[in-house]
Amino acid sequence: MRSHDTQSVINNVVGLAKSAKIFGVPTLLTTVVQDRGGYLIKPLQDVFPEQKPIDRTFINTWEDARVVDWVKKTGRKKIVMAALWTEICLAMPAIQAIGDGYEVYIVTDASGGVSLEAHEMAIQRMVQAGAVPLTWTVFASELQRDWARTVTVPALAQMLVEHMGNVGTSFSWEQQLLATPSEAKSSAAKAA
């Protein structure tokens, strides 16, 4: 992968996976010829430790009947995809799924190509076919929609701290500032 720095893509794909898990989005992991080096990265597998990825030989994931059957069983018509390599393992199944009537969202910052040009051309190709590009934080934000939906806020906040770099650090700092007045009142009440 040469389109992005590897650590950023790993961080982003794990953030994407955690977002899906927080909001209960059905998630399927796949590998390609695992025994020849196509293993799933451990931080990603750790998000879904109970799931054994489908190990496929098809370059185009959408040509593997197990994948298509799994998607059909979810009953969903919207699919969110990320992959290595953008120009092959993301573009090929995304375009074919669109052709089969699915609404496909491609997570551009949780995917990477063999070069920046390959990644960008693949994104353009998929957009022209009808795919909707987004980033992993947009995915999480669209699922959260409203901070008043407090059930998912603690897990989402923790995930932002872990995977959003300086945004996570700022969020953590703001949370501490917001907690300070309450702690001050509590301390004053205890002292009285």
Which positions are catalytic? 89
Q: Taking each helix axis from N to C terminus, what angle separates 6-22 and 153-163, rounded to the nearest 10 degrees?
A: 180
Q: Residues, the chain, total?
A: 192
Ordered DSSP codes for 167-187: HHHHHHHHHHHHHHHHHHHHH
Q: How far apart are CA 110 and CA 181, in angstroms?
A: 38
Q: Is the peptide bond before 85 cis (omega within 30 degrees of 0)?
A: yes
Phi, psi (rounded to 5 degrees) for 54: -75, 120
Q: Residue 56 in contact with residue 67, Cβ under 8 Å? A: yes
